[in-house]
Amino acid sequence: MKLIDCHCHLGYGKDSQDPDAVLRRARTAGVVGFVNVGTTAETSAQAIESASQYADVWATVGLHPHDATNGLDAIVPLISRPNVVAVGECGLDYHYDHSPRVVQRDVFAAQIALAKQHGLALVIHTRDAWDDTFDILDAEGLPDRTIFHCFTAGPVEARKCLDRGAYLSFSGVVTFKNAADNREAAALCPTTRLLVETDSPYLTPVPYRGRPNEPALVRIVAEAIAGVRGVPTVAVADWTFRNTVVAFGLPADLG
C-alpha cells in the first residue's frame, strides 16, 4: 500500500520537528511522496529547499490569505523554480480576517491567474468564505487541476466543488467526533476526485490528538475514509495515490 501526503508543512511552526525523522517515520508507514506547502515567501522558499534535498518531496509556492497584505512580489519569482508543482495555498479566510477581505480576494484572484499562466495546480484554502470563493473561481476560471485543501465542509459544498471539476483533499478532521457532515462528503466524493493529507503539524487525527501531526498519520485519514465508504484502506490508498500523481503532476512510479 502506497500513500502520498498531498499537503504538509515540514519543519513549520512552533511544533516543528526534525524533517529527516518525520520523513523516515512516514516512509516506514508507507508514505512515498510529500507535497510540502508554502504559505509565505519564506515558507515557500523553505519548501523548495526541502524538495531539492529529498527525491520524494515536492514544493508549492503560495501566499495564504492571512498574509495577503504582504503582496505577491516575493512569491512570483519562486514559481518557476525546480520541483514546484502548485500555486498555493491561497484563498480566503473570513474566520480570522488577518488580512482585509478585499485584499484577500484580489490576491486570491492573482494566484489563480499565476497557476494558469504557469500550468500548475492550484491549492485552495477557504474558511467561512464559500460564496466568495466560488464567485472568484467562476469569474477567473479554474486551473485544470484545482484542489480544495483540508476540505472540512459537508455534502452541499462538496458537490459545488466537484461540479467545478475540483479535487477534495480530506484531513484528520474526517476523524473528529463532530465532523459527520465531513464524513458524508468523503463518502460521496468520486474515487477519481479524492485526496488525503495531514496539513501537519496541524489537525492531528483521532486517536493522536494532543500531539503534533505528521505525514505518517495520513494513513489514519485513509483508514477513516475507508471506514466511511465500506472499502479496504488499500483501495483508498490506490485511488488517492493515482489522483495525487495526476493533480500535482508527480512521477507515476513513486515508491
71 membership: H or E segment, kind and range: none
Q: What is the pLDDT of residues 101-118, one digit of tens each?
A: 999 999 999 999 999 999
Complete edge-to-edge strand list for the sheet that includes strand 84-93: 3-8, 31-36, 57-61, 84-93, 121-127, 146-148, 167-170, 194-196
The pLDDT tens digits for 122-134 are 999 999 999 999 9
Which of these, 11, 1, 29, 2, lies nearest to 205 by C-alpha position?
A: 29
pTM over 0.95: yes
Tell me the C-alpha distance between 221 and 190, whole Å: 17
Report the C-alpha dihedral over residues 224, 167, 198, 103, rounded to 10 degrees: -140
